Structure 1
Amino acid sequence: MIRMRAKDETENPAHTVTEAADRNADAGASGAGSEAADVRDCQPPRRGAERSRHRPGRPSRSSGPLPTAKSVRRYWTMIIVLAVASAGIALGILAWDNPMPITDPGFWLIAQLRLTNLVVIAMVALCQSFATVAFQTVTNNRIITPPIMGFESLYVAIQTSAMYFFGVTAIVELKGLVPFVVQLGLMVGLSLALYGWLLSGRHSSVALMLLIGVVIGGGLGSVATFMQRTLTPSEFDILSARLFGSISNSDSSYLPVSIPLCLFACLGLYLCSSRLNVLALGRDMTSNLGLNFKGELLKVLFFVSILMAVSVSMIGPMVFLGFLVAMLAYQFADTYDHKRLFPMAALIGFVVLGGAYFVMKNIFYAEGVVSIIIEIVGGGAFLLVILRKGRV
């Protein structure tokens, strides 16, 4: 066999050379591979590789409003929980303490009578949530709310003036549809005049607008307080009932006007969500990105004034409802995108306002005077935020 292999090698020298070359190439490749492996082992690992090796379960992130899968699950979980809670509260308002069985036609007659209050609660929740979130965005401050512009002080001044100049009969006459529309037009008109005047000058600024709003609100409140001191005790009692934030202050005759205005303003703000995301960056960044800051600001404040006028005219002043709803929406949504903030805030507003109404009506028998719970909880949350931040 050895003799035959030697014979083959002498007869086929090219084959022998080829095999030798292949063996040398394999040896060189293995040597080069081992040297390259040694060099790689000697080099320090890259920063990204080291980070990924230390955290192998790191979730993938994106640049969207909900950057991780965990944040997406958290957002939709909160939406579902709030929707279920809202449905439960609505069912409780319609069915709790209803003397008729659900299969009886009388049950639905009583439910229809309660449906007006339920619609008012939903509408006020929409107005307060959308208006507060949008207002805090354009003012770049998560503490101040639209009542700082004097909407509620104007409402108090109108009601007090009617009682002071025209007596108790004026309060009854102000519950019609025409006085309601006049009151809405007066609130929106004065607010737009204030915005247009303060934001049209060379040195226009949002801070100046807020300062003037505080001064006007304080002045109207002082005038209303002076007129209230001159009223008789019976007149003051009737007026105080109107100045409390109460669902019972609403009237079903207001709904044909207030519902379209509320939906119009909420839809306008929702369609401006992408522009509100830019406005949250500030005046300079908004102008650099090609948006007219002053025009967008006036448009947003126009919608905010409509929503606040509708809310205050329907149920009366409620200072801390918007702040409480917006603060919880920021915490639960955990995003900058207003397309996701607005639905979250609306559901929270309905849960807070509807839950307070249900508790006050069915436990304390206060028939819808929800401002007591709202002011206590909202005021406490406001103080907590102030103390934690240490500044306004």
Structure 2
Amino acid sequence: MAKKFIFLGICASLSILAFMVLGARGNWGFILTFRGTKLVALVIVAIAVAVATIVFQTLTSNRILTPSIMGFDALYILLQTTLVFLLGGLGYVSLHPEMKFALELLLLSSAALLLFGSLLGQGLQDLFRMLLVGVVFGVLFRSLTSLLQRIIDPNEFAVLQGSLFASFNRVDTSLLIIAVPLVLACCALVWRKRHILDVMALGRDQAINLGINYRRELLVGLTLVTALVATSTALVGPATFFGLLVSAISYEVVKSHHHGPVFIVAGLIAITVLVGGQAVFERILGMSATLSIVIEFLGGLVFLFLILRKVRA
């Protein structure tokens, strides 16, 4: 396992180095500051998505599900569409970044916690009911979004279009003062509970028999997932299959149910994929393609592979 950690650490370090120095010309002070700030944003998003997906899969006892199944992506897109519909294109782009970020974070977190508080009961059946309601709300949000997009002026829709997909190139670094402490605090809490997650992965009955307050830990875990996903989504937009891609690779690499090494491997893989991929697309390909589309395509293939493998099993 130590060799795997070292190898992945080297890959992540090389990705960071490539992002910082490839194509660098001119004032190094400005380049390092500009790229370094953007690098922090990419690392924060990578870690947040990776940790949130693994915790969510543990709580739901299903490695195919991702937090986006709760309708986060659809709610985020509906929020952006509503803002453009109400404020117009000019008003939308004139919104203060910190205020818009806080609004998105508050709305996404409140919607998820409302869902948890109203449906979370004593049994695992309520968890499945919560996931089903998340799917239904996702369909509802997409339908409302489609209706508003048909009403919006075509010129204003062009302003909205850039917010409908994840963009790792236009991260607003001014939001890091809020995002970085929040993600680090959530990850620290998740790390402290990694052994509890090991027990919860055995199932509800086994966890209760081993002395775990299952309902409380489930609610705390889902709250942390909500905060991490809401932060990453508000920073870069919806990335449906990125977490699934990272978690699937991590479990194949670690081949263990212990969350400590899985979290470390997932973080390193997420950084390598996101930072390294962005370095290639920005510095080598000259932004002739979009990283988010490639990640979603690969993640979709992994999703189909996992489903087909489970069906055959």
Q: Which residue of 1 aligns with 2:103?
A: 182
TM-aligned CA distance change 1:203 to 1:331, over 3 Å = closer
Q: Which residue of 2 aligns with 1:332?
A: 253
Q: Which residue of 2 aligns with 1:309?
A: 230
Q: Which residue of 1 aligns with 2:23?
A: 97
Further displaced range: 379-388 or 172-181 = 172-181
2:28 paired with 1:107: yes
Could you list the per-position Cα deviations for residues 223-270 of structure 1 after superposition, in whole angstroms to 9, with x for gaps in the alignment? Answer: 111111222332222211112211233212100100010001111111
Further displaced range: 346-355 or 233-242 = 233-242
Shift of 1:367: 8.0
Superposed structure 1 runs of 4+ greater than 3 Å apart: 200-204
Q: Which residue of 1 aligns with 2:113?
A: 192
Could you list the per-position Cα deviations for residues 109-152 of structure 1 after superposition, in whole angstroms to 9, with x for gaps in the alignment? Answer: 21211112211110011101100000000100000100001111
Q: Which residue of 2 aligns with 1:382?
A: 303
Residue 217 of structure 2 is aligned with which of 274, 293, 296? 296
Return the alpha-carbon distance in structure 2 between the equivalents of residues 234 and 148 of structure 1: 31
Q: Which residue of 1 aligns with 2:171?
A: 250
Return the alpha-carbon distance in structure 2 between the equivalents of residues 126 and 78 of structure 1: 18
Q: Which residue of 2 aligns with 1:143?
A: 64
CA contact (8 A) 1:228 1:236 kept: yes
CA contact (8 A) 1:247 1:368 kept: no
Residue 372 of structure 1 is aligned with which of 293, 298, 303? 293
- Alignment of structure 1 residues 192-341 onto 2, 5 Å: 192-200=113-121, 205-341=126-262
CA contact (8 A) 1:356 1:374 kept: no
Larger radius of gyration: 1
Q: Normalising to structure 2: TM-score of the pair? A: 0.95
Gaps of 5+ in 2: none
Return the alpha-carbon distance in structure 2 between the equivalents of residues 163 and 295 of structure 1: 39
Further displaced range: 164-173 or 184-193 = 164-173
**Please, what is the CA RMSD of the aligned residues?**
1.8
When the two structures are aligned, how many residues end up with a matched partner?
313
Q: Which residue of 2 aligns with 1:127?
A: 48
2:5 paired with 1:84: no
Q: 3-state SS of the aligned residue for 1:97?
A: coil
Aligned-residue identity in percent: 36
Return the alpha-carbon distance in structure 2 between the equivalents of residues 91 and 203 of structure 1: 45
Return the alpha-carbon distance in structure 2 between the equivalents of residues 313 and 253 of structure 1: 13
Q: Normalising to structure 1: TM-score of the pair? A: 0.77
Further displaced range: 172-181 or 291-300 = 172-181
TM-aligned CA distance change 1:368 to 1:182, over 3 Å = farther
User: Which structure's relative contact order is higher, taking Cα pairs within 8 Å and 6+ residues apart?
Assistant: 2
- Residue identity in the other structure for 2:89: V
TM-aligned CA distance change 1:315 to 1:391, over 3 Å = farther
Could you list the per-position Cα deviations for residues 270-289 of structure 1 after superposition, in whole angstroms to 9, with x for gaps in the alignment? Answer: 11101101111111111111
Shift of 1:353: 1.0
Shift of 1:391: 6.8
Return the alpha-carbon distance in structure 2 between the equivalents of residues 117 and 217 of structure 1: 31
Return the alpha-carbon distance in structure 1 between the equivalents of residues 107 and 51 of structure 2: 21
CA contact (8 A) 1:245 1:316 kept: yes
CA contact (8 A) 1:175 1:251 kept: no
TM-aligned CA distance change 1:165 to 1:83, over 3 Å = same
2:91 paired with 1:166: no
Return the alpha-carbon distance in structure 1 between the equivalents of residues 148 and 124 of structure 2: 36
Return the alpha-carbon distance in structure 2 between the equivalents of residues 339 and 253 of structure 1: 31
Shift of 1:385: 1.8
CA contact (8 A) 1:248 1:367 kept: no
CA contact (8 A) 1:356 1:373 kept: no
Further displaced range: 168-177 or 348-357 = 168-177
Return the alpha-carbon distance in structure 1 between the equivalents of residues 171 and 93 of structure 2: 13
CA contact (8 A) 2:122 2:215 kept: no
CA contact (8 A) 1:248 1:368 kept: no
